[in-house]
Amino acid sequence: MHTDRIDNLLGAVIQHGPSSNRIYIMHTGAASPAQLVKEVDRLGEQNGYTKIFAKVPASASRVFLDNGYVTEAEIPGFFNGRETAYFLARYLDRKRSCMHDRETINGIIASAKAAKVKSLPPLPEKFSLQQCRPDNATEMSNIYRTVFPTYPFPIDNPEYLCQTMKSHIAYFGAATNAQTIALASSEMDIEHENVEMTDFATLPSWRGHNLAGQLLKLMEQEMRHRKIKTAYTIARAISAGMNITFGRAGYTFSGTLVNNTNISGCIESMNVWYKPL
């Protein structure tokens, strides 16, 4: 599974490469917004990337917006429950800004928004939920490799899973008969008290048991315990199941990131959902 590289640029953390054919400003960090805009423009032109995607605090957004970026989503309270995060895009190729399957995606969003918020039924006795440990990493990587032909981060690599477990990601799994059959993760930004609920994967033969919803509920409980203020996800826009899972869990739809991420074999649009914890 090929993934793009993560670099430090002027104090910001960026991901870039040919897989998603983009630059992703993951954290602006200590970088000057004006300098960062110029440098990512240069990097994008130099490598022929077709999109620049930036997740930035409201205080830095004006510089980006004044330099040709557009707002695709926003999450209030993203930074320590106080400051809004803007998900911004600049298209270096106009073709990339045209959203495929727009009618289908809009229908999925409508269905997910209309989903009633309700408590989950009890987890059937044959399933168990737990937080994953480093000795689960090989089994986890096999599940991710089975479910995702491509993915923006190397979750099919046991070393990556172990490394991120130690730093900032808590992985959770559903099991039956001592076999892990579904996974998800909480990627925490401890400094800014937010968490991305991500990396949902259920083996094909075990779908239909709402294991993603059960894992999401467990992760929310754990994140509240850790004093995280805001949860969000960036979900595949064409995945009705994942969008409805977040709609039913009380998340608010925030916007669509057009042709944003190489996942499951091609570049797809992604929907942003958020929820104060």
Average pLDDT over residues 48-71: 98
Mean of per-residue pLDDT scores for the chain? 97
CA dist 176 and 164 (Å) reads 25
The strand pairing partners of 268, in sequence order, are: 261
177 has pLDDT over 90:
yes
- pLDDT one-digit tens code per residue, 228-240: 999 999 999 999 9
Exposed / middle / buried, residue 235 (Cβ in 10 Å: 0-12, 13-18, 19+): buried
Give the per-residue pLDDT at 159.
Answer: 97
Give the per-residue pLDDT at 158.
Answer: 98
71 has pLDDT over 80:
yes
Query: Which CATH number does 5-97 carry?
Result: 3.40.630.30
* CA distance to 74, 157, 158, 270, 272, per residue, from 57 (Å): 10, 31, 33, 20, 16
Give the per-residue pLDDT at 193.
Answer: 98
Q: According to CATH, where is 3.40.630.30 located in the chain?
A: 5-97, 102-276
2 pLDDT tier (thresholds 50, 70, 90) = confident
The fold of 102-276 is Aminopeptidase (3.40.630)
* CA distance to 10, 81, 195, 240, per residue, from 277 (Å): 32, 10, 10, 24
